[in-house]
């Protein structure tokens, strides 16, 4: 059986080597580029992100990343976001009073955390959603965060009984914030699993296995 393929979307957000190495370590065949067709063809698409929300959205739009994510999800094809790559999946970001439209896959606003020390940098625990697949085998572990902004409330209400509500994992730094979401083919983490040691590798392995 062939290893699952993962395409890392390179839209100029920064160093992608750690994600590339981590995914290869857990058994994925990895490609990295801005190529739309490669992103469509892969079993899984990884959307990374570091830096400012507005800059990341500009880079994503320049490589048609918004269309790539939308088309994959419309066909039930897996997508994973990490850090700002998670944040852009929400309706919008508000940084220093500047609002930027996001991809709108989930309702919510990315805002500055109300915390005594920013950025939130280092290892932290998470409160894992019930029946999580992504966190299977890593309950009670710590993960590595580097951010000052996050989604502070979750307002996604599922009214259709035929649909399953997204599973939301939380963390705390000054206040509660969304640390991860699992929503069918779309999953995302505010922390960096590729920098979170064995626990992060196990989480990425769970995702890669789900692609097979």
Q: Flag whether 101 is in a domain.
A: no
Query: Residue 143: which of 189, 207, 178, 174 has the closest Cα?
Result: 189
Q: What is the pLDDT of residues 173-198, one digit of tens each?
A: 999 999 999 999 999 999 999 999 99
pLDDT class for 81, splitting at 50, 70, 90? very high
Among 173, 192, 202, 205, the one annotated catalytic? 192
Q: Flag whether 75 is in a domain.
A: yes
Q: Flag whether 34 is in a domain.
A: yes
What is residue 13's predicted lDDT score, i.e. its pLDDT?
86
Q: Flag whether 53 is in a domain.
A: yes
Q: Is 192 a catalytic residue?
A: yes
What is residue 164's predicted lDDT score, i.e. its pLDDT?
80
Q: Is the pLDDT of residue 15 over 90?
A: no
| C-alpha distance across the termini of the chain, in Å | 9
Among 105, 141, 182, 194, the one annotated catalytic? 194
CATH number at residue 55: 3.40.50.880
Q: Is the pLDDT of residue 97 over 90?
A: no
Cα 185-187-193 angle, rounded to 5 deg = 140
Domain total in the chain? 1
Q: Flag whether 165 is in a domain.
A: yes
Q: How many CB atoms lie within 10 A of CB 53?
A: 22
Q: Is 56 a catalytic residue?
A: no
Q: Flag whether 29 is in a domain.
A: yes
Compute the average pLDDT of residues 87-107.
95
What is residue 2's predicted lDDT score, i.e. its pLDDT?
87
Question: Hey, what are 1's tokens?
Answer: 């059986």
Q: Flag whether 198 is in a domain.
A: yes
For residues 63 and 33, give the distance between their C-alpha atoms in angstroms, rounded to a whole number. 10
The alpha-helical segments, DSSP class H, found in the chain are 17-25, 36-41, 53-62, 65-74, 84-87, 197-211
Query: Residue 190: which of 138, 147, 139 has the closest Cα?
Result: 147
What's the mean per-residue pLDDT of the chain?
Answer: 95
Strands (E), 84-151: 90-95, 98-101, 106-112, 120-125, 142-147, 149-151
For residues 52 and 98, give the distance between their C-alpha atoms in angstroms, rounded to a whole number. 11
Compute the average pLDDT of residues 23-49.
98
What is residue 14's predicted lDDT score, i.e. its pLDDT?
75
What is residue 144's predicted lDDT score, i.e. its pLDDT?
98
Q: Flag whether 102 is in a domain.
A: no
Among 7, 20, 83, 147, the one annotated catalytic? 83
Domain extent, residue 125, equals 5-96+107-211
Q: Is the pLDDT of residue 139 over 70?
A: yes
């Amino acid at each position: 059986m062939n290893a699952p393929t993962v395409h890392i979307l390179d839209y100029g957000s920064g160093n992608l080597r750690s994600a590339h190495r981590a995914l290869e370590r857990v058994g994925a065949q990895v490609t990295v580029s801005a190529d739309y067709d490669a992103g469509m063809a892969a079993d899984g698409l990884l959307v990374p992100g570091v830096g400012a929300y507005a800059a990341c959205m500009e880079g994503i739009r320049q490589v048609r990343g918004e269309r790539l994510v939308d088309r994959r999800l419309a066909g039930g094809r897996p997508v994973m976001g990490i850090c700002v790559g998670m944040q852009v999946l929400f309706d919008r970001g508000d940084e220093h009073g500047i609002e930027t439209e996001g991809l709108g896959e989930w309702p919510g606003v990315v805002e500055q955390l109300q915390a005594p020390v920013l950025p939130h940098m280092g290892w932290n625990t998470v409160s894992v959603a019930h029946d999580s697949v992504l966190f299977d085998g890593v309950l009670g572990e710590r993960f590595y965060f580097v951010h000052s902004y996050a989604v502070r409330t979750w307002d996604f209400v599922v009214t259709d009984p035929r649909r399953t509500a997204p599973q939301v994992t939380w963390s705390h730094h000054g206040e509660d914030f969304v640390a991860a979401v699992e929503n069918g083919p779309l999953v995302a983490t505010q922390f960096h699993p590729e920098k979170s040691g064995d626990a992060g590798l196990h989480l990425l392995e769970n995702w890669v296995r789900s692609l097979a």
